[in-house]
Structure 1
Amino acid sequence: MNFISLQGFFMTGFLFLRKVLNLWQARSMRLPRVTARQALFGVLVMVGSSSTFSQAPGKTPRTLNLFAFSHDTYLPSLAPEGAVVGRQYVTPQAMCGGAPQCSFWQMKVYPYGGSADESGIALISTNVSGISARVIVNGQPAGSKTSGNVNTKLMEISSPVEVQLVRDSRPLISGSLKGAATYPDYWIFWPVGMSSSSSAPGIRMTGNVFIITGTCSVPAQTVVLPPVSLTSLQGVGATSGQHAFNIQLENCPVGFNRVGHTLTAIGGEVPNKPGALKPSVGSTATGVAIRLTDASHAPATFGTSLPVTNYNKVIGGAATVPMNASYVRTDATVSPGTVKGAVQVLLDYQ
């Protein structure tokens, strides 16, 4: 998963602080606005296949066509050069005709989905200005290559092949990914033992890319929990002092199919305590941490993009992610004091 800095995307910190027990003066603190970041997360898709009976010059007619980005894709206009702005995955079963794994002796890449391959180049241009593409095979970008022998294995595929859209140096303009050839293959893989491409799986991209100006903003926020007594935290895992709050999104543009948010626990999570943040610098209490839950009171999920469900692609504007914060006892021994924690919010767009 790649995280890319983008101007205008705010990865905002929430600081939770409060005392546990006794009398003390709790101080509110505000986290500074942090560097904005963006990551686009693809969805694991079962790509389809279809039969074809003719092909553009330079390619042999094939019977196994796979598709990635065959639907409309919406991308933010602020992506910097080199940013991965879209991901989809082709399963091994789709690549291997239903089998969980298979081997190939040769693969070729075709810039613009054309009929001429470009040897050794992994990152290739598409017909959408500003967008290039590549496939990641077994964790590595793959360009045209061959074992030189139809019966000699070049690569084995048993995990999904990742198709990436990458921002390049060209002006970013909406357009179609459909290739220059009549049947626009961007990548073709030759199975071991097969010299013809007639049944070789080929990956096509045919969908439209729409560029959207602007992104959502997230203001800095401080959440303060109420003081509680140690007697309210009876036993390891007990919680107290729940306080509801919203992650606020503002000025969201219209048009995105999905706005996602990813939570990152600053300083890490408490082991074996789902949703609990490790106390940050300045905490004086021991045996207690801050725990986050979602609107249904399930422990917060860190490191995974979840949809902002009330984002409206038709009207844009404001949106919220309901959350709860509380204390959680993490150890048999507890001492009073102040508990602090922080979480960052990363927005992604599709």
Structure 2
Amino acid sequence: MLTLMAPTTRAVAGTITFPVNGMPNLVFPASISVSRDAPVGTVLSSQAYNPGLAANGVTCNVQQDVTVNGTPTPGDPFTFQTNVPGIGVRFYITSGWNGGWVQVPVSQSISSPSGGTEHDTRADLVVTGPVSTGSITTLPSMTVKFSGSCITTVTATQSLTPGTAITSNTCSVTTPTLAFPLPKGLSNQLKTAGSTTGDTTVPLGLNCAAGIKVAVTITDATSPQNVTTTLSLAPGSSASGVGLQILNGSTPVGFGPDSAVAGNKNQWSAGTSAGGAMQIPLTARYVRTSGTLVPGSVVGKATFTMSYQ
């Protein structure tokens, strides 16, 4: 006996309405001032919204897939580029039905809800590198998708309003070259290793907007890999057994790589600008090193790199 039966149709009983109250754009401030070399990851503005989420008759596990429509920052798949160099966006969403924040993009399998549901979205405007001045006109967006065997697939997109004006705060260096005319050093003043003489102070001049945190790295131009506090003697020097130090106040500075990145090795803080002219007094002096002290000429060359944080 052959029995023929009509195919059954799977009933989809559950519904997810996301969002309940619509999904208005998140809006960053109209203008933001940020120092050019602010550390990568610095959050400039964080905007969140609770659009609401209704889950009715959901009796199965639900797949939540959250994607970002945009271009990731090189080396960071969770931060997305804007059109302004040094400025990016990170998105976050509620984990599960009512957990804490989870960074996007993300995929989660969520069990059927046993209680209430709350779904928040968030976008952070962050520093991704040296910041330029400009208006943000190109922004990423975030798309949320719910799917499962007992629900009809639903999606919603969280967008951002363009137009935020970014101002990159910097300083101008008013003394691009410093010369330290050290006096003659006498051998009886440099008898033991570490002894010093000839302190000569010259100010490094800047002109800054108020509130900029100024940091400095000094690099040994003769031996750029040098990270000690003794400057190498440059070609033209005939003395030996002696070196040079540069001091910030009374502290000999260590030399570091030529970079404005915040946290660069041996980078040091010169303070926060009050606005307008700013001077950083630097002192150079002789320092006795190891080996035989041989009189002669002493020449040293270094570069300085400013970081505005």
Change (3 A) 1:294 1:116: same
Change (3 A) 1:282 1:144: farther
Aligned-pair CA distance for 1:330: 0.7
**Which residue in the other structure is 2:298 paired with?**
339
Change (3 A) 1:224 1:286: same
Aligned-pair CA distance for 1:310: 5.9
Unaligned runs of 5+ in 2: 1-17, 20-31, 44-64, 75-79, 91-103, 110-125, 145-163, 257-265
Q: Is the 8 A contact 1:226 1:241 kept in 2?
A: yes
Match of 2:202 among 236, 245, 264: 245
Match of 1:264 among 211, 219, 226: 219
- For residues 146-161 of structure 1, what are the structure 2 equivalents within 5 Å? none
Change (3 A) 1:134 1:344: farther
- For residues 62-73 of structure 1, what are the structure 2 equivalents within 5 Å? 73=33
Q: Is the 8 A contact 1:85 1:165 kept in 2?
A: no
Q: Is the 8 A contact 2:182 2:200 kept in 1?
A: yes
Aligned-pair CA distance for 1:270: 10
Match of 1:327 among 262, 267, 286: 286
**Which residue in the other structure is 2:269 paired with?**
307
Match of 2:128 among 142, 146, 165: 165
Aligned-pair CA distance for 1:286: 0.7
**Which residue in the other structure is 1:140 paired with?**
none
- SS state at 1:260 partner: strand
Q: Is the 8 A contact 1:269 1:277 kept in 2?
A: no
Equivalent residue pairs, number: 200
**Which residue in the other structure is 2:40 paired with?**
87
- For residues 1-350 of structure 1, what are the structure 2 equivalents within 5 Å? 73-76=33-36, 86-88=39-41, 116-118=67-69, 121-123=72-74, 124-126=80-82, 129-133=84-88, 164-166=127-129, 172-173=134-135, 210-212=166-168, 215-217=171-173, 218-249=175-206, 252-268=207-223, 274-295=228-249, 297-303=250-256, 304-309=266-271, 311-313=273-275, 316=276, 318-350=277-309
Q: Is the 8 A contact 2:215 2:308 kept in 1?
A: yes
* Root-mean-square deviation (Å): 4.6
Unaligned runs of 5+ in 1: 1-55, 58-71, 77-83, 91-107, 109-114, 136-142, 150-162, 186-207
Change (3 A) 1:326 1:88: same
Letter in 1 for 2:88: A
Letter in 1 for 2:294: S
- SS state at 1:231 partner: helix
Change (3 A) 1:240 1:227: same
TM-superposition CA deviations, 1:220-239 (whole Å, max 9, x none): 12111000211111111111
TM-score of the superposed pair, with normalisation by structure 2: 0.50
State the distance in 2 between where 1:89 and 1:75 align: 11
| Seq. identity, % | 21
Larger relative CO (CA 8 A, sep 6+): 1 or 2?
1
Change (3 A) 1:229 1:269: farther
Q: Is the 8 A contact 1:212 1:253 kept in 2?
A: no
Which of 1 and 2 has greater Rg? 2
State the distance in 2 between where 1:347 and 1:328 align: 26
Letter in 2 for 1:335: V
TM-superposition CA deviations, 1:240-297 (whole Å, max 9, x none): 1122222222xx242453222221122238989x5210101111101111112221x1
State the distance in 1 between where 2:218 and 2:282 align: 11
